[in-house]
């Protein structure tokens, strides 16, 4: 019995991978080439054996100017001086997002040389419960 789908499924893996068929993290890119000049000299005898392996993949470290991508600035954009990144880490007066100099939990208790033991856990959990109670408007009696 003939099946049409078996012929279609057999060639599905040979098709080029596109962003529609891959997962969400797949980025194919723009097909940019290597910008370095490559010197490929095939030295072979009559039987097809390569004579010198070094000269086949010898890459010179000079840029090929024809392969370097050229970016064109849109008209009027070159004259502006207020270009900033997406998240500007400047002062709030200049319209930026302030940088948090303290990482982690700055107001919390510091861990001692004993590490994460029961006493440190009690300090941390007690502070968390007190902040939750203040946030909810309920007073907790300290023991």
**Tens of pLDDT along 45-74?**
666 666 665 555 555 567 777 777 778 878
How many domains does one find in the chain? 1
- Is 98 inside a domain boundary? no
Which residues on adjacent β-strands are paired with residue 44? Answer: 50
Per cent of the chain over pLDDT 70 is: 52
- DSSP of 67-126, one letter per residue? TS--PPPPTTTTT------SS--S-TTTTPPPP--S-S-TTSPPP-TT-S-HHHHHHHHH
- Is 39 inside a domain boundary? yes
Q: Look at residue 113 and tell me whether its pLDDT is greater than 80.
A: yes
- Is 46 inside a domain boundary? yes
Structural domain for 39, as ranges: 33-68
pLDDT score at 71: 80
**pTM for the full predicted model:** 0.25
């Amino acid at each position: 019995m003939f099946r049409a789908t078996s012929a279609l499924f057999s060639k599905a893996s040979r098709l080029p991978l596109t962003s529609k068929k891959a997962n969400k993290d797949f980025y194919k890119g723009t097909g940019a080439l290597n910008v370095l000049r490559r010197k490929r000299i095939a030295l072979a005898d009559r039987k097809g054996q390569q004579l010198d392996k070094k000269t086949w993949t010898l890459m010179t470290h000079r840029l090929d100017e024809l392969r370097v991508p050229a970016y064109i600035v849109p008209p009027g954009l070159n004259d502006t001086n207020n270009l900033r990144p997406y998240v500007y880490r400047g002062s709030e007066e200049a319209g930026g997002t302030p940088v948090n100099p303290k990482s982690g939990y700055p107001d919390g208790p510091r861990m001692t040389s004993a590490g994460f033991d029961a006493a440190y856990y009690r300090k941390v959990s007690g502070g968390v419960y007190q902040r939750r109670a203040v946030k909810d408007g309920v007073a907790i009696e300290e023991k």
